[in-house]
């Protein structure tokens, strides 16, 4: 079978990451699916067989990330697309009441994890003269909202880091895209509220939110554009969401 290339998707065990992995496979890519949930990765492997390589590690660990990429089988090393999706929000308290462990987890995952994978993968892309990096940011990176403080800060950092990378590789054929989703109904809010499903469900009450598939569609659009077209940034919102803090509920 002929494939379009190889993609790596971080945080591929659910939500946007899983949707991106599935969409890329449907578009003819072989996908390296990463995450911490080994059993979920194994389930995806059983579903997609040779089109998917499961890679279980924690993006927050720089050594694990570097070793995971360096240890890829020879026929999986030419990564054409990197989707830096792994990320999370924790808590919605005022900044002066925030949980420091939550702060560390968000900074280590949303910022440092993205940087570790970029550092491990992009040099190979540059050496081959081919590659596309898609970073999953958020509307939360455009402006802070109540209780979002540190999470919004991490996503603002993702935007700045993405813009910086685009500048750094401007003399090469590489392309860099930032996707900024609004309300997407995944397990995002349940993670944010530490498993409080009723509180999580209230986030999406009265509005039809986006799905992981909607964001995967945007990702594939950017990746599939002609080589001379770079979709630098895309803001994707539900119809009744105007910004990170303006949501009209029916």
Catalytic positions, please? 151
Query: Measured in Å, how far apart are the chain's first and last C-alpha atoms?
Result: 48
Other beta carbons within 10 angstroms of residue 41's beta carbon come to: 22
The pair phi, psi for residue 132, each rounded to 5°, is: -140, 125
Distances (CA, A) of 43 to 32, 39, 87: 14, 6, 21
Distances (CA, A) of 8 to 51, 62, 148, 167, 242: 12, 17, 29, 22, 31
Rounded Cα distance between 39 and 44, Å, is: 9
> 9 has which bridge partners?
33, 83
Residue whose C-alpha is closest to residue 143's, from 134, 152, 135, 133: 152
Query: Helix (H, G, I), strand (E, B), or coil: what is residue 241?
Result: strand
């Amino acid at each position: 079978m002929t494939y379009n290339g190889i993609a790596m998707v971080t945080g591929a065990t659910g939500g946007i990451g899983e949707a991106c992995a599935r969409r890329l496979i449907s578009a003819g890519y072989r996908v390296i699916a990463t995450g911490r949930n080994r059993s979920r990765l194994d389930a995806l492997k059983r579903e997609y067989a040779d089109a998917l390589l499961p890679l279980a590690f924690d993006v927050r660990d720089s050594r694990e990330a570097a070793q995971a990429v360096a240890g890829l089988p020879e026929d999986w090393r030419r990564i054409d697309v990197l989707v830096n999706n792994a990320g999370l929000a924790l808590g919605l308290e005022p900044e002066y009441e925030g949980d420091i462990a939550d702060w560390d987890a968000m900074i280590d995952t949303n910022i440092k994890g993205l940087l570790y994978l970029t550092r491990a993968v992009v040099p190979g892309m540059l050496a081959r003269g081919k590659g596309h990096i898609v970073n999953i940011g958020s509307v939360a990176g455009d402006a802070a909202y109540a209780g979002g403080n540190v999470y919004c800060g991490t996503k603002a950092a993702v935007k700045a880091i993405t813009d910086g990378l685009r500048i750094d590789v401007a003399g090469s054929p590489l392309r860099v895209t930032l996707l900024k989703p609004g309300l997407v109904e995944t397990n995002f809010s349940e993670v944010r509220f530490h498993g409080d499903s009723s509180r999580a469900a209230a986030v999406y009450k009265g509005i039809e939110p986006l799905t992981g598939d909607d964001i995967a569609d945007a990702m594939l659009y950017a990746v599939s554009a002609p080589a001379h077209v770079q979709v630098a940034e895309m803001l994707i919102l539900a119809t009744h969401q105007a910004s990170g803090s303006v949501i009209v509920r029916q």
